[in-house]
C-alpha cells in the first residue's frame, strides 16, 4: 500500500497531540508509519510544511464558518487549547500561511465594519497575532502547572478591546 500525504499528516497530528510540537520530527513520523524518513519527502518537503498541514487539519472546523469576530476567536481558542502544544503549532503555521483559518472569515466579518478592505485585512492580522500570542502564553503557563481562571476572560477582553478600537487605530 502506497504512503499518502494524508497518512503522514494524520500520524504527525497524533504525535503532536501525544508529545507536543518540539518532539515531532520527520524521523519520528516515519518510524510511526513504519517507513524510512526519505519516503515522507515525496509528499511533504519538510517539517515546517508538515506542521502547517497539521494546523490546517486542527483548524478544519473553522473552514467556511461565518460569524462575528469574537465568536470566531473563541472557536479558535477552543481548538488550539485542545492540543498540548496547540498554541505553538498554530504560531508556526501562521508564520508560514497568513490565510490559515479563521483568517478568511475574520477578514469578511471585519469588512462589514469598515469600507477599506486593507483595514479588514490588517485588522484580521492584528487579531490573529494577539490571539496566538495570548494562547501560547496561556498554554505554556498550563504546561508549567499554572492554571488561571481569568485566562478566558482576559483573552476575550483583549479581542474585544481590539474590536472596539477602530481597526485603523489598532494598527498605528
Q: CATH code at 34?
A: 1.10.10.60
Range of the domain at 111: 59-171
pLDDT given for residue 166 in this prediction: 57
> Is 145 found in the same domain as 70?
yes
Place of cell 478544519: 60
Q: How confident is the model at residue 170 (pLDDT cuts 50, 70, 90)?
A: very low
Mean pLDDT, all residues of the chain: 91
Using CA atoms, how far residue 150 sits from 51, 75, 140, 157, in Å, is: 30, 18, 15, 10
Q: Is 93 in the same domain as 32? A: no
Q: Which residue's entry shows cell 469598515? A: 114
Contacts 24+ apart (CB under 8 A), 24-29: 24/51, 26/50
User: Before 102, cis peptide (omega within 30)?
Assistant: yes
Does residue 172 have a pLDDT over 70? no
Instruction: State how many domains the chain has.
Output: 2
Q: Per residue in 20-55, pLDDT tens?
A: 999 999 999 999 999 999 999 999 999 999 999 999
Q: What confidence tier does 169 reach under pLDDT thresholds 50, 70, 90?
A: low
Residues 138 and 91 in one domain: yes
Nearest to 76 by CA among 92, 90, 97: 90
Question: What is the model's pLDDT at position 1?
Answer: 61
**Distance in angstroms (rounded) separating the CA atoms of residues 13 and 15:** 5
d(C-alpha 113, C-alpha 122), whole Å:
13
Same domain, 64 and 147: yes
Count CA atoms within 13 Å of residue 103 on its CB side.
17
Amino acid at each position: 500500500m502506497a504512503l499518502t500525504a494524508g497518512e503522514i499528516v494524520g500520524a504527525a497530528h497524533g504525535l503532536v497531540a501525544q508529545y507536543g510540537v518540539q518532539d515531532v520530527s520527520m524521523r519520528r513520523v516515519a518510524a510511526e508509519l513504519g517507513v524510512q524518513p526519505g519516503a515522507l519527502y515525496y509528499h511533504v518537503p519538510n517539517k515546517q510544511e508538515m506542521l502547517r498541514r497539521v494546523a490546517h487539519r486542527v483548524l478544519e472546523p473553522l473552514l467556511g464558518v461565518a460569524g462575528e469576530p469574537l465568536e470566531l476567536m473563541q472557536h479558535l481558542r477552543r481548538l488550539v487549547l485542545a492540543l498540548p502544544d496547540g498554541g505553538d503549532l498554530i504560531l508556526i503555521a501562521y508564520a508560514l500561511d497568513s490565510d490559515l483559518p479563521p483568517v478568511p472569515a475574520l477578514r469578511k466579518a471585519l469588512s462589514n465594519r469598515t469600507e477599506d478592505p486593507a483595514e479588514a485585512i490588517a485588522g484580521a492580522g492584528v487579531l490573529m497575532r494577539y490571539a496566538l500570542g495570548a494562547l501560547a502564553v496561556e498554554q505554556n503557563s498550563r504546561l508549567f502547572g499554572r492554571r488561571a481562571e481569568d485566562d478566558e476572560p482576559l483573552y476575550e477582553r483583549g479581542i474585544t478591546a481590539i474590536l472596539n478600537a477602530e481597526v485603523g487605530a489598532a494598527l498605528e
